Amino acid sequence: MSSTENIRFAVQDAGEVSAIFLQPQSAQCLLVLAHGAGAGMNHPFMTAIAHELAAAQVASFRFQFPYMEQRRRVPDRSLVLTATVQAAVQAASKAAPDLPLFAGGKSLGGRMTSLAASEGRLDNVRGLVFFGFPLHPPNQPGTKRAEHLGEVKLPMLFLQGTRDALADLKLLRPILAKLGTRATLHVVEGADHSFHVLRSSGKTEKDVLTELAQSASDWMKKLALP
């Protein structure tokens, strides 16, 4: 059984935003979960991964960025986005002060979380989880978006599909190798940036979501040990 709580919290100079705190009775850690650029916290992927995480004993705190809360299409400036991640981490910590705290998100949400972490703004966070780190624009290979990762002092888990048009694994692997033990890569064979897989893969969408949640849960639980 899990409990669901709707929460609102303030973001400096950007008003209030909404959040959903989903906590299973057996929760062993808490993941602050930021959404991607084009869809908010109630996108089917966000909802599904939150429930899969709950089944794997991980509570989640997913939230809206201000532009999504205000139903604007264009994402806020990075300063606003990182301030929102910072405020979400603080709100989540208050909601469940006894749970080991992690942060991350889907695509843009994960990248903004890593940017906030690189600036030392995520107090009490033990590690970062990226569901499809957006290394570059679609089919435009590059590494500029990863330059700040060297400043992140926390352990990081990268969950990436082999068909992700926003993250060429040939470019991502060397970047993670330079990060050493701070970076862990879990590759989902056949998955694209949205973690959709071809029918020929033999996997269902549910299989992939379960794989993502279990991999994230196992990784976080190890870091949560005293």
Domains of the chain: 2-224 (3.40.50.1820)
Q: For residue 206, what pLDDT is reported?
A: 94
Q: For residue 200, what pLDDT is reported?
A: 84
Q: For residue 2, what pLDDT is reported?
A: 87
CB 7 within 8 A of CB 19: yes
Per-residue pLDDT reduced to its tens digit, 189-202: 999 999 999 888 88
Measure CA of the first residue to CA of the last residue in the chain; give whole Å.
26
156: burial class by Cβ within 10 Å (0-12, 13-18, 19+)?
buried
How far does Cα 73 stand from its chain's mean position?
A: 20
How far apart, in whole angstroms, are the C-alpha atoms of residue 3 and residue 21? 8
Within the chain, how many helices (H) and strands (E) appear? Answer: 6, 8
Q: What are 179's two structure tokens?
A: 């990060």
How far apart, in whole angstroms, are the C-alpha atoms of residue 199 and residue 208? 12
The sign of the CA dihedral 79, 80, 81, 82 is positive
Residue with the two structure tokens 């991607």: 36
Q: For residue 201, what pLDDT is reported?
A: 84
Q: What are 170's two structure tokens?
A: 């040939």
Q: For residue 139, what pLDDT is reported?
A: 85
Below-50 pLDDT ranges, the chain: none
Q: For residue 202, what pLDDT is reported?
A: 85
Q: For residue 225, what pLDDT is reported?
A: 83
CB 164 within 8 A of CB 137: no
